[in-house]
Amino acid sequence: MRIVTIATLFSLAALPAMATDYQAAMHSYLENNIRSWAQSPVLVEAIATQNSETQGLDQAAVDALDTKWRAEVGSGATPTIDDVLQNAAADFLRAQINESGGRITEVFIMDAQGLNVASSGVTSDMWQGDEAKFQQTYSVGADASHFGDVELDESSRRYQAQISLTIVDAASGAAIGAMTVGIDAEALM
């Protein structure tokens, strides 16, 4: 029993160093592999288009869309989800996954409300506006990024870390939305 306790103490002591290693690895992956395509016109245009449609929505309307999305997950009829999965931006995101050699597990972009615009696959919910991936990027400004903890993602069913960043309009430099990229945790180390 004492060996387990000592082993547990050693593993707990290693957690801060491991978290620092993951943070550094995520930052490096963002700068070297994501930034080059994150502001692609197809993504910016998709977000700008949806912003023009959702800018006047109140929280009740956002919640209603999220509830509708959640009801469609796993069901036969998925018109709300299909709009997000079947567009040029979603095709572009899936191409980035294919080009990553298994490092990227999922990618989705959000509008100024935090609603999904395009996604490589089905997410568990449509509204990301109540989560750090949106609140610590879009709400912070054009250069903001957020690195999530390594955890089991219920959408992709893989251990991953999420890298999120603000998407900006190239002409004005203003924040218009955000993007989250799920990275296979093993690929980071």
Beta strands in 3-138 (DSSP E): 104-110, 116-119
- The phi and psi torsions of 163 (rounded to 5 degrees) equal -110, 120
Question: 158: part of which helix (H) or strand (E)?
Answer: strand 158-168
Residue 8 tokens read as: 């547990």
Question: Is 50 exposed, middle or buried, given 0-12, 13-18 or 19+ CB atoms closer than 10 A?
Answer: buried
What's the pTM value of the predicted model, to 2 decimals?
Answer: 0.87
**Given this model, what pLDDT does residue 129 score?**
96
Collapsing DSSP to helix, strand or coil, 115 comes out as: strand
Residue 44 tokens read as: 């910016």
**Given this model, what pLDDT does residue 20 score?**
56
Domains of the chain with bracketed CATH: 2-188 (3.30.450.20)
Q: What residue ranges of the chain have pLDDT lower than 50?
A: 1-18
Distance CA 160, CA 173 (A): 30
Query: Which residue in this structure is represented by tokens 């912070």?
Result: 140
Residues 21 and 189 sit within 8 Å (Cβ to Cβ): yes
Distance CA 119, CA 179 (A): 10
Beta strands 151-153 and 145-147: pairing type? unpaired
The predicted-structure confidence for 14-29, as pLDDT tens digits, reads as follows: 434 445 588 899 999 9
Question: CA of 19: how far to CAs of 12, 77, 157, 159, 185, in Å?
Answer: 11, 41, 21, 14, 11
Question: 180: part of which helix (H) or strand (E)?
Answer: strand 175-184
